[in-house]
A and B are shown apart, each in its own frame.
Chain A
Amino acid sequence: MKKDDTPQERSQEALQETNSEGIRLLLVDDEAGFVEVLSKRMAKRGIRVTKAHSGTEAIQTLRKNDFDVTVLDLKMEDMEGIEVLKIFKKMAPEMPVIMLTGHGSNQAAREGMQWGAHDYLTKPCELEELVEKIFEAVRERKER
């Protein structure tokens, strides 16, 4: 890794490939600490993160705003992520959804893929990997 190859620069490169405007991302996870730190780190990489701490909050947020991509935790307390996914796919069919799953819940991940999710990652995951997938999803959407 080159010394000056900072996260910002890397994100910048990715952005140039996709959209110079920051990606609008909805981050849905009921783990507040996780949402906080992830949104800060993503913001540093030029992603505009809107936080939602529950499935309900996420649906309400989506009703008011548009997003380029959603990162959705499949295991939340108020409702299963898969239900949120189904609703999202009705509200904004074009918006790609990347799912975060616990280990061993591949069944849920596969189900999610059937319901139209873009991709899934197993928690805990590397941020760079997640960002990669986000850019990839946005790029694919643009191409379509």
Chain B
Amino acid sequence: MSGSPEDRHTKKRMGLYHVETAGDGRSTLKKRVFSVVVLSIAAMIAVSALILYHFYHSYRDKTYAHLNILVEKHRRDIDSFLKENLGAIRFIAKIFTFDELRDASFLENCLMNLQSHFNNVFVDLGVINARGVQIAYAGPFRLGKALYTEAPWFKKAIQSEYFISDVFMGLRGLPHFIIAVRENHNGHAWILRATIDFVAFNNLVESIQVGETGLAYIVNRGGSLQTKTRADVMKEGEILTILGEMEKGRYGQTYITTISGRGGNKYLYVAALLKDGQWLLIYRQKISDAFREYNHALRVAIAIILLGGVCVVAMGILLTSRVTRQMEKGEREREAMSAQIVESGKLAAVGELAAGIAHEINNPVAIMVEEAGWIEDLLEEEEFRESKSLKEFHRALEQIRTQGRRCKEITHKLLSFARKTDSRIHNVKLNQIIEEVVSVTAQRAKYAKVAIEKNLQEDLPCLRLSSTEMQQVILNLINNAIDAMEPDGGRIMITTRSDQNALVVEVEDNGPGIPEANLARIFEPFFTTKAVGKGTGLGLSICYGIIKKIGGDIEVESHVGKGTTFRIKIPLPVARGSATLSATSDQTSDSDRMNRGV
């Protein structure tokens, strides 16, 4: 309760700041925050999208380049494997004669040599005459004197100098392919044929494995598989398309495309021509696998965007709610303030009314008093002098006079509440005023057994205000304190001190104190707890009015049974006030002390 005027003060200040923004500004603010949020998210998405787009392209280029190199390398490996083997067979066919090679043991010897030099790539060797009859054979199968006249490979091999077949089952019933070299002996063509170990060849291709789904296989132009593979083999149409594209030479040695496979999976295909364009080395990988890192980065980026978005939205909401809360607080304070304004308006209206009434009452009261005086005058005459009731008449008339004076006092107080008697502003010394008032009330205090003590700070700066008004304030406070402590008596302590940019006067008593229910109302006009006829209830409201008018504060702190303290704060004149000087000198001395390290 004690700080209530101060609170009111703060409220007023706070309220003023928010008057303009509160109310209709709230929805606008929400919109503004919303647009800020949307804008920041949009900017974030745009930047991220741009970065991701570039990242995607460079990653794709890098991936393609890598696969190109990989496939190209293997193409070369496979081609050189074939060429090497072909070269070996051609070499044998060239340096040994038909007669030497048709000797089974010699042929066996050749095979053993080849196997030892070429890591068992060669499975068997055979010599076939122009009619397609195998006249010598070395190898694990019992193929001696086999007839190849109708075999497709033989038909092709007999027409060209050398020939590498597709993979076929042949007589042995196992997938294999052969290298055949044609030579002449006495005008008759003969063929040296070698079978390549399918497993060894297959390993060459199967070794191309990248990631989880990257694998390679070889097909011929007809689309039949030349190696073992787990993959679905490309359809003939697709192969033809690839070949068509490759023959345009647009893509160099390798060709990259994406084709949707079964189950909705998209595959990346890298193709390269082998064996003079008869075979196609195909590398296949799931797009998701090939772009695994990209997808990972994409997911991270999306996560960051989402997280950022959440942060932005959260900040937006936080900001809105905080600002809204602040504005609501402002609104509440404004309401409180306007309530206060209404209250003080009411107070002013009451004051105005009271002043009017007081003025009107003065005349009838004056007449009444004068008429009483007239009766008194008449009573002086002879005819009444002997009257038995003369004494009683005088008493009644004196009573009328006294009550008239009381009316006058009341109206005068009411009028000073409305307009001040002497509101001229001087430079006044607060302590001097207090001394004067204390001396005026000394007699009354003595009768009431009240001791008035003073604790006045010397060298207080002068105040600019009306001394009569200030006297009235101090007088009212002292009178109230004395009234409160009658008849038991007590002690009044009057303190003055300077506090920052204000002077503080405290009037403290050790009387019965003010109950909390009354504390809130004590500055209201006509509020009094004194016996009827003893108080007008205007004293404190006059004090309040005077102190507020000079921009000060008056507050009351009271504890029932312990006493009451009225505290007045009067702001010092701001410019060239001696208070400012003394405050400055205080600071200087403080800093001096600090500098000296005391």
Q: CB within 8 Å of B: which residues of A?
A: 6-8, 31, 33-34, 37-38, 40-41, 44, 102-104, 106, 123-125, 127
From B370, B380, B416, B419, contact of A37 by CB (8 A): B370
Check A106 against B373 for contact (C-beta < 8 Å): no
Q: In the assembly, what is the distance between CA of A104 and CA of B413, in Å?
A: 10
Closest CB in chain B relative to A12 CB, distance in Å:
13
Check B374 against A40 for contact (C-beta < 8 Å): yes
Per-residue interface assignment for chain B, residues 361 to 377, with 1 indicating a CB less than 8 Å from any chain A CB and 0 otherwise: 01111110111011001
Check A33 against B367 for contact (C-beta < 8 Å): yes
Chain B contacts with A in 206-252, Cβ cutoff 8 A: none
Nearest chain B residue, comparing its CB with the CB of A100: B366
Q: In the assembly, what is the distance between CA of A37 and CA of B373, in Å?
A: 9
Nearest chain B residue, comparing its CB with the CB of A124: B366
Check B377 against A7 for contact (C-beta < 8 Å): yes
Enumerate chain B residues within 8 angstroms of A31, measured Cβ to Cβ.
Answer: 363, 366-367
Q: What are the 9 A-B residue pairs with the smallest beta carbon separation, nearest first?
A: A124-B366, A104-B415, A37-B370, A33-B367, A103-B415, A6-B380, A103-B412, A31-B363, A34-B367
Given A34-B366, A37-B370, A40-B374, A103-B404 contact (CB < 8 Å): no
Enumerate chain A residues within 8 angstroms of B370, measured Cβ to Cβ.
Answer: 34, 37-38, 41, 124, 127
Supply 6 A–B pairs (Cβ within 8 Å), ascending by A: A33-B367, A37-B367, A37-B373, A102-B362, A103-B408, A124-B408
Q: In the assembly, what is the distance between CA of A106 and CA of B424, in Å?
A: 12
Task: List the count of A-B residue pairs having beta carbons below 8 Å apart.
Answer: 62
- Secondary structure of the A side of the interface? helix
Check B377 against A124 for contact (C-beta < 8 Å): no
B411 at interface, CB cutoff 8 A: yes
Check A104 against B416 for contact (C-beta < 8 Å): yes
Nearest chain A residue, comparing its CB with the CB of B372: A37
Q: In the assembly, what is the distance between CA of A89 and CA of B367, in Å?
A: 28
Check A106 against B363 for contact (C-beta < 8 Å): no
Chain B contacts with A in 321-375, Cβ cutoff 8 A: 355, 358-359, 362-367, 369-371, 373-374
Enumerate chain A residues within 8 angstroms of B419, measured Cβ to Cβ.
Answer: 104
Enumerate chain A residues within 8 angstroms of B380, measured Cβ to Cβ.
Answer: 6-8
Q: In the assembly, what is the distance between CA of A104 and CA of B354, in Å?
A: 13
Nearest chain B residue, comparing its CB with the CB of A107: B419
Check B422 against A106 for contact (C-beta < 8 Å): yes
B271 at interface, CB cutoff 8 A: no
B438 at interface, CB cutoff 8 A: no
Chain B contacts with A in 174-196, Cβ cutoff 8 A: none
Per-residue interface assignment for chain B, residues 423 to 459, with 1 indicating a CB less than 8 Å from any chain A CB and 0 otherwise: 0000000000000000000000000000000000000
Closest CB in chain A relative to B355 CB, distance in Å:
8
Q: In the assembly, what is the distance between CA of A37 and CA of B371, in Å?
A: 6
Enumerate chain B residues within 8 angstroms of A127, measured Cβ to Cβ.
Answer: 370, 373
**Of listed A34, A37, A127, residue having the most chain B CB within 10 A:** A37
